[in-house]
Structure 1
Amino acid sequence: MAKSTIILVSALCFISLFHLASCKDQFFVEGKVYCDTCRVQFFTKVSKFLEGATVKLECKEIEGGSVTLDKEAVTDKSGKYSIEADGDHEEEVCEVSLMKSVDPDCDEISKEGYGHTSRVTITNNSGITNPVRLANPLAFLKKEKLSECKEVLRELGFDEEGLPV
């Protein structure tokens, strides 16, 4: 009885180690996409998360710039996406970027400032033990600011352009 228990426990340990080894370089890049309804390039209480937005995860070699990973994902009803990334990309630059919005009133991608790309680290050599890598929120700009933006920004200590007062 004791011998069969030892064999069973040993087998379970071996299977667990094999599973850990096989999942070693599997990561999940997660983030959210929202509509910047005040066109200030940061999230406010009147911003809305976007369902159906498309984002792309791309990794490129630091030397030479060859693309090593290129995957897309679509956001759910809470504006969240998750992209599976296999392999260690320590010697590469990986970024999530906005591709497409399904909201025609909020589909502009700002080429200035922040909010259209987010760099992520996809390696086991970063000190992060969790396989989930969180990207900064990404934002499409609404065509016209909401009327309540002036008050929302004033409450936050900003002028109507989003600059500190």
Structure 2
Amino acid sequence: MAKSIILFVSALSLFSLLNVAYSQKDRFLVEGKVYCDACRVQFFTKASKFLEGATVKLVCKEIEGGSVTLSKEAVTDKTGSYSIEADGDHEEDLCEVTLVKSNDPDCSEISLEKYEHMARVSITNNSGITNPVRHANPLAFMKKEKLPECKEVLRELGFDEEGILV
């Protein structure tokens, strides 16, 4: 009797362990940062600041047909960081994080260039990436007016005041 109880408890424990491992298999975490582009050059400089309270949205759409399979929003913390849980394998989808809203009215402009306000992420186990955390490229809202110190900041980097390499 004792042997059968031990065998039953062992089998139940093994089943629970396999169930937990399986349920974690298709769970991902998309992480990234949002900053204020103080020089309006569409890359991070020492004049840039990370934004707290900015809203981003993760959307996955089927490649064929374009139906939305996942849509979640997140708000950045005091370091400008966000984290979005994504359940399911989205191998047949295009997944992108986009800017939604800035909490800073002076730094709330979204670039018209598509790739300046979105970051594509791979949310599948079939990508060669073993870590469930997916890192999205940093996203930026632009300041309404360039800061006065931007001219010097860009000169130090070898750019003219428009952000063009000289």
1:37: which partner in 2? 38
1:81: which partner in 2? 82
| CA root-mean-square deviation | 2.0
1:55: which partner in 2? 56
State the number of aligned residues. 163
1:21: which partner in 2? 22
Unaligned 5+ runs, structure 2: 1-5
What's the offset of the Cα at 1:18?
2.7
Contact 1:38 1:146 in 2 (8 A): yes
Give me the identity figure in percent: 75
1:91 aligns with 2:92: yes
SS at match of 1:27: strand
In 2, the alpha carbon distance for the partners of 1:14 and 1:65 equals 37
In 2, the alpha carbon distance for the partners of 1:36 and 1:6 equals 62
Unaligned 5+ runs, structure 1: none
1:163 corresponds to which letter in structure 2? I
- Within a 5 Å distance, the mapping from 1:1-165 to structure 2 comes to 14-112=15-113, 114-165=115-166
Contact 1:41 1:114 in 2 (8 A): no
Contact 1:25 1:86 in 2 (8 A): yes
Bigger mean CA deviation after superposition, 5-14 or 52-61: 5-14
In 1, the alpha carbon distance for the partners of 2:102 and 2:91 equals 30
In 1, the alpha carbon distance for the partners of 2:17 and 2:159 equals 53
What's the offset of the Cα at 1:14?
5.0
Task: Report the TM-score when normalising by structure 2.
Answer: 0.91
Task: Report the TM-score when normalising by structure 1.
Answer: 0.91
2:3: which partner in 1? none
Question: For residues 13-67 of structure 1, what are the alpha-carbon distances to aligned partners after superposition, in whole Å with 9 as ceiling and x for unaligned?
Answer: 5544332111110001000000000000000011000000000000000011111
In 2, the alpha carbon distance for the partners of 1:113 and 1:145 equals 21
